[in-house]
Every structure is written in structure tokens, then in C-alpha cells.
Structure 1
Amino acid sequence: MVVCSSQLVPQIQQWAHELGFSQIGVAGVDLSCAEPGLMEWLAQGFHGEMHYMAAHGLKRARPAELVPGTVSVITARMNYLPRTTPEGWQALEFARLADSAQGAVSVYARGRDYHKVLRARLQKLSDRIAEAIGPLGHRVFTDSAPVLEAELAAHSGQGWRGKHTLVLSRDAGSMFFLGEIYIDVALPPSAPVSAHCGSCQSCMDVCPTQAIIAPHRLDARRCISYLTIEHAGPIPLELRPLIGNRIYGCDDCQLICPWNKYAQVSSLPDFDARAGLSGQQLVHLFAWDEPTFLRQTEGGPIRRIGHERWLRNIAVALGNGLRATGSAELRAALHTCAQHESALVREHVAWGLAQGI
């Protein structure tokens, strides 16, 4: 079924707002302009161990090949700052990073797993559309398939690609999740917006590992979010000291961005920070056994890395804290896992202990 209806888009936007989305856009299926950049990025190996980035070839940039029959893509944006986020929250987060005894978890990961939240609400939105117009060929995505989410968002007027490669909005900064509905209904595309980064390169300058190697060019292999989440093996030795106390993800490029003074809090309780994750001491988090880790992270995004990588990440942070402070408490915590059954954990613990020599 292919139906052209400009009246449908305002109705979709209203339904989406009722479901907690902050903005809806519509993109066409022609992303050919993004294909050369994607292929070059993959050819240079900047995707690291994220083999799924290359597994589907150019289907990632060709929605109609990924889901045959797709003629339009509905893009959705959902703010994720917790509802209790105070004024000046960026300064508070930088202060957290300066406290070497505290574990820093990326803001987005402190609440419920966004995959579950967005996917369920995108499906509800799809159901409402189908109720209004009849049978609907569709598929919903939230960072879960070969989809160029940021490119689709930019094409549909959600914002522009910042120099850190994230989507930026003049009204909401970058503290939001993206989701898509591929549909077989022709809808009028939203107008894209112009870029407003100008000469600013704060995101590039602040990156602890200098992973943003050029404007709009990210080497994921150096990115702390990649290293602490996607990367399964040993963290490269030369990058460990630069990770500081970041144990899951990294927000630095967003914290420094001037546009995030306009970041909006979420309307949903799902993204409120869970007790036990935010503001916790490294020694406390390192003491979690696997059942405790699974219980504390149930329903959240952190669970996906597993207990072994959790300990690996914290061992690096403890080592960095030990080097900075010489704390006997941090040293003692590392010793508790010096004989851990995992070779990966033992190796990072040994490195951490060596930082206090």
C-alpha cells in the first residue's frame, strides 16, 4: 500500500508527543550522499570490533533494501536527561569526573535500557498509524539494526551532525535518543536544518583520547564509549591512563558542547537515575559479585557488557585513581581480584596495581 497524505504527519506528531517523544521527522530513502563516507570509514577500520557495522554492506544506507517496500522513514527523538536534572548539570558531571574515587557512568545509562523504552513506544505509534489508515507495512528500529540513524535524523530535520558526529538540535542539544519506523506509506519529508557549529571545536579539544580525529570523523577504536562498552578484550595500554574514572561510556564531548545548555529533561520516569549506579565509589562497585551485578543492572543498558567487562573497566579506573592519590583503599580493592578466575580481569588488576608503584 502506498498512500500520500500530508495530513497524516501532524497527527503522527501529536500521537508521538503523547507517547513521550520530543520530535518527529520524516526522511526519504535516498541516503546515497552518505555512502562514500561510510565506506571510507569502514575501509580505515575506524569501526574497530563493531563488525556489524560492515556486515550488511550498503544496506545501512539503503532503507528500501533493508526493508523492501519502504518509501519513507519516520524519525523520532526522545530526551533522556533525568527529570530531576538541576541547572548547571554539566559542571556537576565534570566534578564527578574529577573525583578519582567515584565511578562515572554515562548519563544515558543510569536509567532503564533505552532500547526497550523506545522500541515499545515506536511500536505503539506504528499501531496508531495503522488504526488510522489501515494495514501498514513497517519495522521499528532503535540502535538495533543496520540503520544510519544520525544521517536519517539529519535528513529529516531533527538537527545537524556535530563535529563529534552526534546529532545536534538548537532546541535540545544532543542529550536524546533516536528511533525510526520504516514504512510503506509515502509521507512528505521534513526540511533539514542548517549546521550551527561554526568554528567551535570544543568537542574535539575535550576528548580525553582524541578520538575525534577531524571534524565529523570519529575513530571508534579510541573512543571511551567504545572501549568500555563495545570492546571485548584488553583495553590498549596507552589509552588506559586517559580513561580516568569512566567505567561505562563517556559524555565529555556532550558536556562541553555549548548547545547542551538547551538540553531538555525527559518526560518519562524510565530515564531517572537508578539508586546504586550514580555517584557510587569505585571500591563499592568493584565489590559486586556477578549476582549483585545482574540484580543492580536488571532492565538497564549496563547489563549488556557483563560482569567480566564491568570489573575490567573498574580495575582501570581504580588504577588511575591509585596513581593520582596513592590511596590504600583503592589498592586494597584491586588486591581482592588479583586472583580472579578471568584472565582479562587479572591482567587489568595487575596493571592497576602497577600504577601505585
Structure 2
Amino acid sequence: MTGLSKEELVARALEEGFVKAGFCRPDAVPEAAGRLRAYLAAGRHGQMGWMKEREGWRGSAAALWPEARTVIMLAEAYTPEVDPMAGLAQKDRGVVSVYAQGKDYHDLLKRRLKRLGRWMIERAGGEIKVFTDTAPVMEKPLAQAAGLGWQGKHTNLLGRDLGSWVFLGAIFTTLDFAPDAPEASHCGRCTACLDACPTRAFPAPWQLDARRCISYLTIEHKGPVDLELRGLMGNRIYGCDDCLAVCPWNKFAVAAKEIGYQPRVGLPELAELAALDDAGFRERFAGSPVKRIGRGRFVRNVMYAVGNSGLAALIPVARARLSDEDPVVAEAAEWALGRLSRVQDSGVGTPDESC
């Protein structure tokens, strides 16, 4: 027991801007290590070598900080006000995932976690460590163990009173709070998220092969994307929201409170983005998560979107990048030009997705 009640802490968390808080033990998900081991053994993590490097910590929250007695999981909403899939029909523009439309959530979320953590220490003493998704913590299984929601068939967290659009943060503490009851799955027979995936990145419910996931391909994957997948990426140039956006539970999604998550990026024109040099890219996406992938990977994604547009008017845009100093961008531009040239020659339709 501590001098601080769970009810007081939750009330303070809500005052800070979180939309839900829950408590669990660091060892609340003993099966996580085995699931992670199987995932890595199958190679489904792709180029994300950092998952393997910190497998021991990631698979066991108790191993990450043995002195911790409680994990406090917190959810922060970034629910969009408009349909995030509407932009997919605007082929001359690029679609950026909702979570990256505003300021970088890592900064905003961590500041909020630290404020709440300092308040905890002032009230009850003890020690804390705060984590966002930059640390080797399996937030989603812990959030389910803490009763915030459950991992849907798309492997993301959702809740009956949250929807899908939430960031997760964790406060590990030496203080001892009673754990909350874990949440059970309420997906039922629904497969909307699995059916919506353009690249069929889900081998089975509750399984994700990151190597086929557009979020992974546009953000984490270095170098050229497989030809098989490029045509399926559409005009998604940073992340993908399809599996989240179609979830029926979003009719109960809680509104975002943080004004920093209000969209600043919008639906930028592909022609504008393709012309960005390194300095222009950094200026254009200052303070945004998009900036973290660098200009080369980003313009590569833009070239794939140009090639998928079916718009002959973008041929000069692709041609202008043929001599790009980044060979991956230059190759993507050559691919895009080939597709658009075939569209121009045929006069109708969109190139075959496997080309």
C-alpha cells in the first residue's frame, strides 16, 4: 500500500490529459516472451533488428527493471475528426498516417508522463521510470493486462470506450498498487481490419508480418521495396491507417484532447514533396514524426505514390528524380516513370500492380 490511492492517481492522470489509466504487475504477461520469440524466429520483424537486440527486455517487463512493483499504463487519444481514408482517392496527393499529422507524439506523451510521475513521487515517494514506444516495452499486452482495452485481430490496442486511436505510455514504479482486471477480446467474428489490409500483412488473426505492412515499408524499411508490394501502397507515403480506420469500435472513440495532435501536414501534393531537397524536407516536417525517416526514404515513398497515381501529368515529376543523388530514390523514380509511361501510351487505366 502507498499513501496515494489508485483513484487519486487516475483522477490526476485524466486531469493531465490522458483518457484512461490502468494498473498491472510487471510480470502480468508471461506468454509475451514466447510470442515474441516465435515472431522473431519467423523473421516477421523484417529489418527491425532492434527488436532482436533487446529481446530479453522486450519479452519481460519484469526484466527491464526488476525493482518495479507496478506498471501504470496510460492511454492518450489522437482520434481524427475526418475520415482518414478519404485522401486515398486523391491520387495527386500523399496520405500521411493520422498519428503523424501533428506534432511528434513521443515528445508530447513523454512530457505528460513525466509530469504525472513527478506528482506521484511528491505525493507518495518511491521511484519511477517512464516509457514511450522508443523503449523495449510491449505496451499493448501490458495495456490489455491493465484493463485499458484488448489487442484486436490487427494486433493494435482498442477499447470499448476508446476506439483504436490511442497512444500508449507506461510508468514503472516501485510503489505497490493493486492490479486491475485484464480486458478480454471483444472482436467476435469481425474481420474488418484483416480484410482492409491492402498488402495482406496479416497471415492470420492476431498475427502481423511487418514485412508486408505499409506502415513498416514506408517508415522502417530501408532500400527499395519489393516490386510485388509497391503497386499496393497506393498514395500512402508515411504509415497506413486502414486497419484502424475500419474498426467498428471506433464509433465509441474518445475525442483527442491534445491540441498538438491537430493536423498540420494535411494532404500535400506529390509534386511538391518530390521536389524537396534535404533542407527543404527538414523544414517542411520540423517537429513531425515524418522527419525521423529522412529525406531519402520519404521521397522514395513519394515516387511510389507518383507511380501509383495513374496520372500522366506527373511524368515530369518522376523524370526530375531520375538523377537523384540517392540511388534508391532514382530507382523508384525510374519505376514510377515506367508505370506512368505505360498509362500514357494506353490512354486508360492504372498499371498492373505487380509491375
TM-score scaled by length of structure 1: 0.93
Q: Does 1:104 align with 2:95?
A: yes
Matched with 1:58 is 56
CA shift, 1:21, in A, is 0.5
Matched with 2:116 is 125
Equivalence map 1:3-152=2 (5 Å): 4-5=1-2, 8-30=5-27, 31-82=29-80, 85=81, 89-90=82-83, 93-134=84-125, 136-152=126-142
- C-alpha separation in 1, matches of 2:65 and 2:223: 33
Kindly tell me: are residues 6 and 137 of structure 1, through their superposed partners in 2, closer, same or farther at Cα, counting changes over 3 Å?
closer
Q: What code does the residue aligned with 2:262 have?
A: D
- C-alpha separation in 2, matches of 1:8 and 1:235: 51
- CA deviations over 1:130-158 (Å, ceiling 9, x no partner): 00012x22111110111111000000001
Matched with 2:290 is 302
Equivalence map 1:234-253=2 (5 Å): 234-253=224-243
CA shift, 1:6, in A, is 8.5
Unaligned runs of 5+ in 1: none
- C-alpha separation in 2, matches of 1:159 and 1:338: 47
Query: Residue 3 of structure 2 contacts residue 124 of structure 2 at CA under 8 Å; is this kept in 1?
Result: no
The alignment partner of 1:186 has SS state of coil
- Percentage of identical aligned residues: 42
Matched with 1:279 is 267
Q: What code does the residue aligned with 1:289 have?
A: D
The alignment partner of 2:31 has SS state of helix
Q: What code does the residue aligned with 2:315 have?
A: R
CA shift, 1:64, in A, is 2.4
- C-alpha separation in 2, matches of 1:20 and 1:287: 38
Matched with 1:153 is 143
Q: Does 1:215 align with 2:205?
A: yes
- C-alpha separation in 1, matches of 2:303 and 2:224: 12
- C-alpha separation in 2, matches of 1:6 and 1:352: 63
How big is the alpha-carbon RMSD for the aligned residues of Structure 1 and Structure 2?
1.2
Equivalence map 1:226-265=2 (5 Å): 226-265=216-255
Q: Does 1:175 align with 2:159?
A: no
Query: Residue 76 of structure 2 contacts residue 166 of structure 2 at CA under 8 Å; is this kept in 1?
Result: yes
- C-alpha separation in 2, matches of 1:65 and 1:6: 27
Query: Residue 25 of structure 1 contacts residue 76 of structure 1 at CA under 8 Å; is this kept in 2?
Result: yes
CA shift, 1:61, in A, is 2.5
Query: Residue 162 of structure 1 contacts residue 168 of structure 1 at CA under 8 Å; is this kept in 2?
Result: yes
Unaligned runs of 5+ in 2: 343-355
